Structure 1
Amino acid sequence: MAGARGRGRGRGVISWYELLNISRDAAERYRAYEQADPIACPNDGEPLREGPDGQGLYCPFDGWRPNGRRVGDGLTST
């Protein structure tokens, strides 16, 4: 029985500090993900492309832009 006690070490045994480090690492990665510039449209997943008006990235499918405006906004006068 003495051998059975030592068999589990290194396999599946994790300390609370290791879990805390995993949680902190995940939170750090999530913050970095949230702050990164988008690479795809959140509406349809279409990869973003350089806008036709030279004003940054846009979605060619629905015109979405990371700043909330759409391609063509501001072209019409009121």
Structure 2
Amino acid sequence: MAEPTGANTPPSRSVTAPDGFTREYPMRIARHRIVTVLRERGQPFRAEWVERELPERVDPAKHVGLLATLHLDPAELADAPSP
């Protein structure tokens, strides 16, 4: 049984492995995905700022406020977890 996610627990994604077991992996977002969405919305200055200020692999738990301000859903942008 999975433990409930607390405020200090980073977002994760459940993946069912070929062996049939489900595993939780920390969720990360590729910075280029955020930049692409912002440019598609016609927000080039925000996109440029994100490229300068955020790491290549964004931790949604660490940047939750920024993602909310940009109206981005981390679950939609997250990279596929690699087991």
- The two structures have a TM-score, normalised by structure 2, of 0.20
- The two structures have a TM-score, normalised by structure 1, of 0.21
Name the larger-Rg structure: 1
Higher strand share: 2
Ranked by relative contact order (alpha carbons within 8 Å, sequence separation 6 or more), the top structure is: 2
